[in-house]
Amino acid sequence: VWPGETVFPDFTSQNCIDWWVDEYERLYQEIKHDALWIDMNEVANFKQGSNKGCVDNKLNYPPYTP
């Protein structure tokens, strides 16, 4: 689905939360709606490790395919 490297917002950051709230409120002003479904919003990664490297443990590399 993604053509290259993909990054994900830090939804625990207040700056990120504020940005999404602003985006949502502006969308609602243009298009009235009852709900919003953001598809493909799950954290997923198809690359082993990361640019900074991942610790080799059972949390980062479980003994099963998630």
Given a contact cutoff of 8 angstroms between Cβ atoms, the answer to whether 44 and 5 are in contact is no
CA torsion sign for 32, 33, 36, 37 is: negative
Helix ranges, the chain (H): 14-30
- Residue 39 appears among annotated catalytic residues: yes
Catalytic residue among 5, 25, 42, 56: 42
- Residue 56 appears among annotated catalytic residues: no
Residues acting as catalytic residues: 39, 42
